[in-house]
Amino acid sequence: MGMNSRIGSFNHHTLIFSSSTSSLTSVELQPLSSPQAKAGTNSDKIDQSVQRRTANYKPNIWKHELLQSLTSQFSEKKYKTRAQTLKEDVKCMFVEASDTLSKLELIDSISKLGLDKYFMQEIKEALDATALSNNTSVLKGDLYATALCFRLLRHHGYHASQDMFLDFVDGADKFIPSPKVSIKGLLELLQASNLGGEGEDLLTEAGLFSIENLSGFGASSDNMLAKQVYEAISLPMQWRVEWYNVKKHVQAHEKNHESTKSKLIELAKLNFNLVQSSHQEDLKEVSRWWMNLGIKERLSFSRDRVVESFLYAAGTAPEPKQASLRKWLSKVINLILITDDVYDVYGTLDELEIFTNAVERWSPEEIKELPEGIQICFWTLLNTTNEMAAEIEQENGWTPVLPYLQKTWTDFLKSLLVEAKWYNKGYTPSLEEYLNNGWISSSGPLLSVLAILGVADRKTQNVAEYLKDCQQIIHHSSLVIRLCNDQGTSAAELERGDAASSILCYMREANVSEEVAREHIKSLIVKAWKQINGYCISCPPFLQEPAKYITNTARVAHFMYQHGDGFGVQDRETQDHVRSNFIEPIPIN
């Protein structure tokens, strides 16, 4: 269903691994052409005797040859040398920024241009000076400066209080309309409000006040500020994938003719192209992996979406140093799409029960009588997961890894099986029942476990402890993935006759229209983001890195499903995103 299948109240047992899982060992890898992989001579008879559904997905538009031909001049050493020189120039800009607001605006520009990783020390020193002294007092009376300060402090993990906005509200904590309040200030207030946690009512009020006063402006003007207003209302900055907005921010800086930031803009262009070059090499490797499996022609019922899988992975972990995590995520997302299609449209209920049990036991013996397509799916899942576990152990030092991957895959498939049973019975669950299962079938826990294995510091905690400490953010990020997926794919799934989505569940439960149901689902997304924000504000430093990447999985869900099914439909916005981020560099004069 879209990328995967169905999310709500948190079942804490799902991600807790007992010590018995450590007894699992890697089974011997089997090539797909082996007798074991093709076991079951009756599979073709079974396959032909069953009427199988189809999702009618369009063929893949990204040819392997095109992907392998991608090259970039920016892999040359001279560009990295130039970038290093520009970094030193930008560091000088922190010294030249003489007042608090100038420093905050510089930090904001650096972050939006995707450069903050190069200036973490300078950013920390500037924000420390703002947070640990009375520097915020110089912003008093300036809504724009106060909102910008609040947003940057929270974004970088500081405990900024919503009380920073008390100067702008009346005795009833309502924001006071004033002719002095600029569109720019309202826009920044709206962005700041989206970093609020549960119970921070002043920030909720800030969001409502901002939208009420900005809505008319966005509709009556066609300038750049109006476009920013529209984008902030439709999808706030906190929910967006930072890296996939870099090009837009470069263009905005150029249109504003900010000559004082020429070195910063040049560095942003160069850095984007350098990162793009790195992403191209990763994408080529993932495409070769997919081609070398030699299975896509034998899985005609499933989506062939290796490029879109990489798009999701690169949005989650864009930094060049995260190449391995990107490739692991790409492979897992590709497998998620295949298994989702097995459960959604291809397998019978009996076959799905056997498949689920076989994965839970990691037992190839159990699949011999299944149709060839499902056997191929099993062997691809088993071999890829075993190989990935070995790579993670070798590169990152975690051990053992396989039990965690196998357990999370099992939970995912069991949740798909629940939905398949609902579909076969013609049963529409309550929204709560649907979400209790759906946050797992969103595939969010799978992506989160990989994020932890990819970036967490193994010297601080073991994997089980990280999973326990990250349960809350895994749950709510998975909830966002599920609900975004439903918002983007519900119409197509209803047309195909797939299992009910959260939208349909609520329509039937509350007896409301689709429009009302969609608004309710939006409100659940807002609530989930408040929980994510609260976690990120309060978590200890050693959890901030895993939390960032887990949160990114939710951001990419917004990105992929904002305009519909970003996986199923390749030739609209998704195609533009792929070209912009992986094929077309930013021109440098």
**pLDDT of amino acid 491:** 64
Q: How far is CA 456 from CA 65, 306, 398, 477, 554, in A?
A: 36, 26, 10, 17, 18
CB atoms within 10 A of CB 91: 13
d(CA 346, CA 353): 13
pLDDT tens profile 411-422: 999 999 999 999
Contacts of 277 (CB under 8 A, 6+ apart): 72, 74, 75
What's the N-to-C CA distance of the chain in angstroms? 45
Domains and CATH numbers, the chain: 35-68+269-583 (1.10.600.10), 115-241 (1.50.10.130)
d(CA 434, CA 520): 15
Of the CA atoms within 13 Å of residue 9, those in its CB half-sphere come to 4
**pLDDT of amino acid 139:** 78
For helices 502-510 and 471-496, give the axis angle rounded to 10 degrees: 80
Q: Which ranges of the chain have pLDDT less than 50?
A: 1-2, 4-47
Q: ∠ CA 233-234-238 to the nearest 5 degrees?
A: 75
Do you find a cis peptide bond into 400, omega within 30 degrees of 0? yes
What stretches of 539-588 show up as alpha helix (H) in DSSP? 541-561, 573-578
Contacts of 24 (CB under 8 A, 6+ apart): 362, 400, 402, 403, 406
Exposure class string for 434-452: b at 16+ Cβ within 10 A, else e: bbbbbbbbbbbbbbbbbbb
Q: ∠ CA 451-452-454 to the nearest 5 degrees?
A: 65
For helices 323-341 and 402-425, give the axis angle rounded to 10 degrees: 30
**pLDDT of amino acid 6:** 35
Exposure class string for 402-424: b at 16+ Cβ within 10 A, else e: bbbbbbbbbbbbbbbbbbbebbe
**pLDDT of amino acid 562:** 86
pLDDT tens profile 123-162: 999 999 988 765 555 677 899 999 999 999 999 988 899 9
d(CA 275, CA 262): 20
**pLDDT of amino acid 132:** 78
Kindly state the tokens that stand for 392. 């993670």
Helix (H) or strand (E) holding 412: helix 402-425
**pLDDT of amino acid 174:** 93
